[in-house]
Amino acid sequence: MSTRAALDGVRVTSPVPRAVWRSLADSDPYALPTQTPQWLDAVCDGGRYTDVSQLYEWPDGHRILVPLVRKRYLPTRLATNGSWPIGWDIGGALCDQGRISKEQAAAVVERLAGQSVRATYFRPHPVHDDVWSAVIPTAARRKPRMVQTIDLRAGVEAVWKRFSSSKRRNIRKARQAALTVECDSTGRLLPIFDRLYRQSVERWATQGDTPAWLTRLRVNRKYSTRYFTSVVRHLGATCQVWVLWHEGVTTTALITVSHGGYTFALANAMDKRLSGPIHGQTYLHALAIEQACAEGRDYFHLGDTYPGTGVTRFKSSFGPVDYHSAGYWLPPTRSRNGSS
């Protein structure tokens, strides 16, 4: 572990001690499940990445933590830092009490861009996007993102009223059907989820203009069986696999992860032929939202989406708030002595 003074008195520690990371994840009301030390363990599972997280401490005691990894076996100058690598969702920054100023954000970005790596991918939390976007260098490459989040703070009845009328009607129909639902956090149901997910990949491969083989390659590489296994293993009881059966036949599955004020719908899968008529995806999401309300969560994060798609319309019918944000590829900057 190295600790040194930098950026006009800001103390930087890397990697971040676990106890400090846990403390900041508990302090930040906007902390996502993907910003916890357990998520870091899932990212690093298998040995591909190493922890290069950074803790920034200002003289007044304010702290900001950047979850960060680097590919383990590449020379530093050829490697990229990721917060997180694309496919591992939002890393961004954890902040004491969820507070960050533009000056603090600028100091963090300056140091991230000053690393001796080929580039750094930094994806901040959408709620702070206005702060970060104001200090990102113009040379950075922007990757637009949109996420949808349901505000649960007014309680389950208020959340229900924000569902579209057709969504409420379909949930009522599902409740009257011969459906069986299981929710498990031991990993026992993961093989069922994964089978439905690979089946969904085959369906997605036939849609759109991308060649089927390329869609299969991209999705199966990004969201492999190992990916889901790592998440379930390291997040433990905070990761739940939901499975829905209709008349004894598996139709639909969902994975959620939770931390603090957030539950995150990480991934879903279905046999569309069987799940569609019973509104299985709608019903499982509704159950997960109800559970998040019962657990006292503040938000239900529906994940990334793309405007104008069927997936976006499906999520929009739950009454979420849309956040338009971005991930940023930060190119390395020259240090004062002229070296990268």
Where do the domains of the chain lie? 2-144+326-330, 153-297
Residue 210 is predicted with a pLDDT of: 87
- Mean pLDDT score, 269-282: 96
Q: What's the topology of domain 153-297?
A: Aminopeptidase (3.40.630)
Side-chain-facing half-sphere of 334: CA atoms under 13 Å: 4
CATH for 2-144+326-330?
3.40.630.30
Torsion (CA) 6, 9, 13, 17 in degrees, nearest 10? -170
State the average pLDDT for the chain.
93
Distance linking the first and last C-alpha atoms of the chain: 22
Same fold, 2-144+326-330 and 153-297: yes
* Residue 335 clears pLDDT 80, i.e. is over it: no
Round the CA-based radius of gyration of the chain to a whole number and report it.
21
Query: What order do you get walking across the sheet with 10-14 strand by strand?
Result: 2-6, 10-14, 54-57, 63-66, 94-95
The residues, any chain, with a CB within 8 Å of residue 285's CB and separated by 6 or more, are 254, 265, 268, 318
The band of 333, judged by pLDDT with boundaries at 50, 70 and 90, is confident
Tens-place pLDDT, residues 211-240: 989 989 988 888 999 999 999 999 999 999
* Residue 265 clears pLDDT 90, i.e. is over it: yes
Number of neighbouring beta carbons within 10 Å of residue 187: 16
The band of 327, judged by pLDDT with boundaries at 50, 70 and 90, is very high
Residue 338 is predicted with a pLDDT of: 40
* Residue 340 clears pLDDT 60, i.e. is over it: no
Residue 334 is predicted with a pLDDT of: 53
Q: What's the gap between Cα 222 and its chain centre?
A: 13
Tens-place pLDDT, residues 113-152: 999 899 999 999 999 999 999 999 999 999 999 999 999 9
Residue 308 is predicted with a pLDDT of: 84
* Residue 336 clears pLDDT 60, i.e. is over it: no
The answer to whether the pTM exceeds 0.75 is yes
Q: What's the gap between Cα 16 and its chain centre?
A: 20
Q: Which residue has the higher pLDDT, 77 or 16?
A: 16
Tens-place pLDDT, residues 22-60: 999 999 999 999 999 999 999 999 899 999 999 999 999
